[in-house]
Amino acid sequence: MRLWNIGACVLALLVVSCGGTTDGVEVEQQKAGTLRLPLISPSPDGKLYRMVGATFDITGPQTVTLTDTSAETVQTTLLAGSYTIELKGAWHLESIDAPGTAVPAQMLSPNPLPFFVTKGETSEVRFLFKMPGKGDANVGIKVDNGGWLAGTLHFTQREDPTSGPSVFDELMGQSVPFVISFESATLTKTNWSYKELMVEADPPHTIQFGGPHSALLERVASSMRDVPFTFTLRATPEGFVQFDNMNMWGPAFMIQMNQSAPFPGKLDAEGFPTAQYFEVESNTFIRSVSAYYDGVMGPANVNGSP
């Protein structure tokens, strides 16, 4: 057994909608909440990072553009309802300890990103970034920092079109960006019919869907954040790798990604797949747990890293 330290650190910038003060926009308070956007955030290793040079376009019941991002936190009052926020401009991330020096960062979140302002409640969405760190290997099976699955879901058909109207009908024909990110995972080598690397991702996760805001997808995401999930990287006899059997089974919904076609991948000295970046296409389902065959399906373009 080996401990795979992927060496990825995560930065999440929070967007919080809640009641509170405003930036001067005239909005009826009994129908409004406050969008608060912190521009400084810690990574899991405790370092502070700041976003510089960003513009945020907000679209929904109101249209607002936030351009003055010099403060540590910006905020504006919005009418309750469904919105998207788009990160624009010549933005970059820099460490608080080294102002003026951009750090490499990969944004995984869909952009624009949906969020919802609810009167009298607090909600959160995140722009999620990952930055490379130093890789290491030791004895054990626990990953200190984790990876992600991201890409686009293409919903092409209902799983059981004969079952009558469904809450999943609104997703038919849509292409939805997504990201499922985890900070740590247990990696286990198994050698049954094939040499496989099984990834067991530890909660909590950051789960996001992009595109037009869907209350259904928000429910799917919120129900999955504390659910462990697994997927497998399998070595083929020809020396390729397959992504297989991603299962995330929550209390109300299930997400399943099936086996991909073989793709070129790196194998270790024992012939097992290694934990590294990959790109695949996988047939994907989102189902209701209470009615197993009530769901939507279609191909997903997936990029990921264990």
Instruction: Find out whether 198 and 185 touch, Cβ atoms under 8 Å.
Output: no
* pLDDT at position 277 over 80: yes
Distance, in Å, from the CA atom of 267 to the CA atom of 25, rounded to the nearest integer, reads 57
- Nearest CA-CA partner of 37 in 80, 7, 74: 74
Share of the chain above pLDDT 90, in %: 32
Report, as an integer, the average pLDDT of 277-285: 94
Handedness of CA 82, 303, 106, 250 (dihedral sign): positive
- Nearest CA-CA partner of 115 in 41, 59, 71, 171: 59
Residue where the block lists tokens 């010099």: 70
Q: pLDDT for 5-43, tens place per residue?
A: 334 445 666 554 433 333 434 555 557 787 777 788 877
* pLDDT at position 123 over 70: no
* pLDDT at position 182 over 90: no
pTM: 0.73
Half-sphere exposure of 11 toward its Cβ, with a 13 Å CA cutoff?
25
Structural tokens at position 38: 């912190």
